[in-house]
Amino acid sequence: MRKYDLIIKRGTVVTASDAFKSDVAVKDGIIVALGQDITGDGANIIDAEGKYVFPGGIDVHTHLEMPFGGTVSSDDFETGTIAAACGGTTTIVDFAIQAKGQSLQQAAETWHKKADGKAVIDYGFHIAITDMNEDILNEMPRAIKNGYSSFKLFMTYDGLKVNDDVLLKALIMAKENGGLICVHAENYYIIDYLIKKFYKEGKIEPKYHAMSRPTVAEAEAVSRAIKIASFANAPLYIVHLSCKESLIELARAREQRLPVMAETCPQYLLLSEEKYEEPNFMGAKYVMSPPLRPKENLNSLWDGLAKGEIQAVSTDHCPFFLKGQKDLGLEFFGKIPNGAPGIETRMALMYSYGADMGKLSLQRFVEVTATNPAKIFGLYPSKGTIAVGSDADIVIFDPNVKKVITKSKLHENVDYTPYEGFEVTGYPVITILRGNIIVENGNFIGRKGFGKFLKRQAPILV
Ligand code: URP
Ligand code: ZN
Ligand code: ZN
Ligand code: ZN
């Protein structure tokens, strides 16, 4: 029997705390040795000289095949995870949305039907609770035990939103049972008021989507969620934090040692509100919630990410075709399905505009794209690092490749990318999932259904 299945030779291994030249040996899908000059007869050899060896990316915020605004996000678990893999992501955590009247178990089963046998990378589910009652509350401990250890609550959106009493009860229940509450924090009433006002005034173009969701609406909800969590003595994770005003609330809470964590997304680090001015309804490409913010925000968010005020970068990948989906809102921005694609471009963008440009260290790049997401969502240390005993989920990343991001070269099932024309330095050249090469030089060579459902543990607070 051969000693190793795969040896990655002469690369620079990067973890959240280190960067060192090392070979990596893999057996049965697990990293079994790190060191110099590892040899093993019969092993597949990858020469990674001059390349980085990163832990596979972990994207803890995706929406695949999600019903929203009268349509369904256009990537399913096959196309979406192929795109993720091509971009260097090996694990996603998607949101199983509880439909009205469903139990949490039923919500999870609905999402298993979408993902099982289709996903090409590993996956877990948060459960988004939209219809809370005593039975659902009491179901939370079992959901956590079954590996759905995080829940999302929407503080806004008609049909999805929960009130503060629900947030409070869910926080307490999660805290007592080793779970984590995530919030989409925006003030429902400010937004509802502005949407109706703009509509009445005939302000119907995509840019009014952004104007109907001001930063104060986000910051208020962030602050309120933090205070409720602090009362409940429970950890809290804020999804898609988009602006400086919210960051101030987050930073203040963390200074007080409250267990509050947050993610931001590449769109809030790289794009700003001028995009809504694109003519011919093209502003609809950026209709997402929260919306893109004024340019001044970008540096604040990079800064918060570098300093450790923000812990993770996920994508909120939620693609809709311009033709046939986004155009549902041609006559009124309120009918444009919210969301944008990004599952494939996260690692390259964060490396290029973060690590390569000196805004993030290499280690911090790894920490926010893989290690922290794994810790916060109960996947560490099997996922999120390169260490003996961890799953061999690895990205071989060539820092010298230069590319221009363009829709036609991406695998996302949608007719645009918000990052069209972005130049990147550095790109994943090989993606490995549990020791198997699934992407080589941009070509997906994995297998439909090879992705495994991950039962997740309690959060590790970072
Ligand atoms: O606009 C967005 N973000 N769409 C996806 C749903 C959500 O709020 O995360
Ligand atoms: Zn959200
Ligand atoms: Zn989302
Ligand atoms: Zn391809």
**Best mutation site among 63, 74, 315 for ligand 1 pocket (most ligand atoms within 8 Å of CB):** 63
Residue 309 DSSP one-character state: S
Model confidence pLDDT, tens digit, residues 192-203: 999 999 999 999
Q: Cβ distance 304 to 247 under 8 Å? A: yes
Given this model, what pLDDT does residue 1 score? Answer: 86
**Alpha carbon distance 102, 147 (integer Å):** 18
pTM over 0.95: yes
Structure confidence by residue, pLDDT tens digits, 88-121: 999 999 999 999 999 999 999 999 999 999 999 9
Q: Letter for the amino acid at 162?
A: V
Ligand 1: which residues within 6 Å by Cβ?
A: 63, 184, 288-289, 316, 318, 338-339
Overall average pLDDT of the 384-408 stretch: 98
ipTM of the complex model: 0.92
Q: Residue 242 CB: number of other CB atoms within 10 A?
A: 28
Query: CA 326 to CA 316: how far, in whole Å?
Result: 17
CA 338 to centroid of ligand 1, rounded, Å: 6
DSSP character string of 382-404: TSSS-STTSB--EEEEEEEEEEE
Helix runs in 38-185, H state only: 79-86, 104-115, 134-145, 164-176
Ligand 2 ion: residues within 5 Å (CB): 184
| Number of neighbours of residue 7 by Cβ within 10 angstroms | 21
The ligand minimizing its distance to the Cα of 209 is 1
Reference 232, options 183, 181, 156; nearest CA is: 181
pLDDT digits (tens, 9 = 90+) for 55-70: 999 999 999 999 999 9
Residue 32 has a pLDDT of 98
462, 424 contact by CB (below 8 A)? no
Asked whether the predicted pLDDT for residue 426 surpasses 90, the reply is yes
Neighbours of 180 (CB within 10 A): 26
Mean pLDDT of the chain: 98
Query: Where do the domains of the chain lie, and which CATH numbers do they carry?
Result: 6-54+385-413+424-444 (2.30.40.10), 56-376 (3.20.20.140)
Measured from the CA of 154, which atom of ligand 1 is nearest? Answer: 8
Q: If you take atom 4 of ligand 1, which residue's CA is the nearest one?
A: 339
